[in-house]
A and B are shown apart, each in its own frame.
Chain A
Amino acid sequence: MSSSCVDAPDDYVGETSIRGVVERQGKPAEGAYVRLTGSQDEFVAEHRTTDDGSFRFWVVPGDWTLICIAPGADRLTQTVSLAKGRAVDVKFDLEPAATAAG
């Protein structure tokens, strides 16, 4: 699992959000489900990626966990800390499931 978490460029100040992309073998992955959960493991939102593999969650500042599941891939998680007015970038690189069904 690889991830990159970088602060957004200055023109995104004021847009508190978590945005990212899901990729499979270097290409955008459609049909992946990215779930946003809060500090109490509560469900906040979920997004199904389309053909560009992107997702974006507009949320209040705080600590968040992202869970990514996709067909034939291992479940991935990442945690981020979001400050007001900043956007955090996240990437999920899907790996083939270790116990994929035949």
Chain B
Amino acid sequence: MAEYANPDALVATDWVAQHLNDATFKLIEVDEDTDAYEKSHIPGAMSLHWRNELQDPVVRNFADKGQFEQLLGKKGIGNGDLVVLYGGNNNWFSAYAYWYFKVYGHDNVKLMNGGRKKWELEGRELTGEKPAVSATSYQAKEADSTIRALRDEVIAKVGKTPMVDVRSPDEFSGKLAAPAHLPQEQAQRKGHIPGAKNVPWSKAANEDGTFKSIDDLKALYQEEQGLEPQNETIAYCRIGERSSHTWFVLKELLGFPEVKNYDGSWTEYGSLVGVPIEREYKEENGG
């Protein structure tokens, strides 16, 4: 069977289970809601709260380089450490953290395929005990802009650079202004960035949270949508976490050399004054 472009970007639940007591890597559960972690998690895993620890509390942006260094140092993560990430929500937030770690230059990072769900479905051990941590110092690199797209770059590339909108078909078409279960989380306008292809993130994953095979992913993105590795591709969703999952697929599994995650995503673009929008869905009263 053909392999992913970067198979080392993933570890299987089996591998984690076999190496739990090795002390050869730092295991981190990344969540939007850490309640599940507080109750139980994979033995040895630390917690990382996507919003409280990775985001600036005032400005909509990453924690800055210094804050990231303090965060990792506090968690006892050194520059040379292998970090293995997993989480709930089908690995949305752990994929985001994977991308985020890459932005700050921590290349020795892997994602546990299937996340917390796969681990639990396999009936593997969970514990409420938190690991002991020895703080250390950490030196981050300057943020890597080759994998992150910001607003002005996206606007300049509309209609020129292939883009992938990983939201649901109804969000893409403009029928819904937000995910069907989060109707309050709306941008000012409905629709999508002109020219973007709609490939919902979930099409890249199995129900157990693992990524689909390389052949299935090639069919999904390249054969069906015409996305090509020789072109730069930008992925976006609503707030950049689902699109991190797709960024991981395109970059690490399919091996597209140039992929950017636009984490401002639709909550930013869909509320900008004057930018072009495509909307296929037409409401009867022109709303």
Pairwise interchain contact B179-A45, C-beta atoms closer than 8 A: yes
Known: A43-B200, A69-B208. A38 touches B180 (CB 8 A): yes
Q: Report B5-44 residues with CB < 8 Å from chain A CB.
A: 35-36, 39
Say yes or no: is B274 at the interface (Cβ < 8 Å to chain A). no
Complex partner residue of A70 from B121, B169, B179, B183, CB under 8 angstroms:
B121
- As a 0/1 sequence over residues 62 to 91 of chain B, the CB contacts with chain A under 8 angstroms (1 = contact) are 000000000000000000000000001110
Chain A, 45-87, contact with B by CB distance < 8 Å: what is the 0/1 string?
1101010000001111000000101111001000000000000
Do the beta carbons of A60 and B183 come within 8 Å of each other?
yes
Expressed in whole angstroms, the Cα–Cα distance for A40 and B168 within the complex equals 9
**B122 contacts A71, CB within 8 Å?**
yes
Residue B287 is within 8 A (CB to CB) of chain A in the complex: no
- A43 and B180 contact, CB distance less than 8 A: no
Are B123's CB and A72's CB within 8 A? Answer: yes
Known: A38-B170, A60-B180, A72-B123. A43 touches B202 (CB 8 A): yes
- Known pairs A42-B200, A59-B180, A60-B176; A71 contacts B120 (CB<8 A): yes
B170 contact set on A, CB distance < 8 A = 38, 42
Chain B: minimal CB distance from A39 (Å):
9
Which residues between 134 and 182 of chain B lie within 8 Å of chain A, taking CB atoms?
A: 168-170, 176, 179-181
The residue in chain B whose Cβ has the minimal distance to the Cβ of A43 is B202
B207 contacts A35, CB within 8 Å? yes
CB–CB B179/A38 < 8 A: no
Contact assessment for A42 and B169 in the assembled complex, using a CB-CB cutoff below 8 Å? yes
- A21 on the B face (CB < 8 A): no
Residue on B nearest A56 in the bound complex, by CB: B181
Q: B121 to A59, Cβ gap below 8 A? A: no
Give every chain B residue within 8 A of A36 (Cβ-Cβ): 181
- Given the known inter-chain contacts A38-B170, A67-B207, A69-B208, please indicate yes or no for A44 contacting B179, CB distance below 8 A: yes
Is A48 touching B36 in the complex (CB atoms < 8 A)? yes
Once A35-B207, A43-B168, A46-B89 are accepted as A-B contacts, the answer to whether A69 and B121 lie under 8 Å apart by CB is yes
- Residues on B with C-beta less than 8 A from A70 are 121
Nearest CB of B to A68, in Å: 11
Chain A contacts for B110, CB-based, 8 A: none
Contact of A71 with B168 in the complex, beta carbons under 8 Å = no
Tell whether A92 is near chain B: CB-to-CB under 8 Å.
no
CB distance from B224 to the nearest CB of A (A): 15
Q: How far is the CB of A92 from chain B (nearest CB, A)?
A: 15
* Complex interface: chain B residues within 8 A of A50 (CB): 35-36, 39
With beta carbons under 8 angstroms apart, the residue of B117, B176, B181, B208 that contacts A58 is B181
Q: Which of B169, B179, B181 contacts A40 (CB 8 A)?
A: B169
Interface residues of B, Cβ cutoff 8 Å to A: 35-36, 39, 88-90, 116-117, 120-123, 168-170, 176, 179-181, 183, 200-202, 207-208
3 cross-chain pairs, A with B, having the tightest CB-CB distances, nearest first:
A43-B202, A45-B181, A71-B123
Apart from A46-B90, A50-B35, A71-B121, list 16 A-B contacts with CB within 8 A: A33-B117, A33-B121, A43-B168, A43-B201, A43-B202, A44-B168, A44-B179, A44-B181, A45-B181, A46-B89, A60-B176, A60-B180, A69-B207, A69-B208, A71-B123, A75-B207
A-B contacts, 21 of them at CB < 8 A, read A31-B120, A33-B121, A36-B181, A38-B168, A38-B170, A40-B169, A42-B169, A42-B200, A43-B200, A45-B181, A46-B89, A46-B90, A50-B35, A50-B39, A58-B181, A58-B183, A60-B176, A60-B180, A69-B208, A70-B121, A71-B123
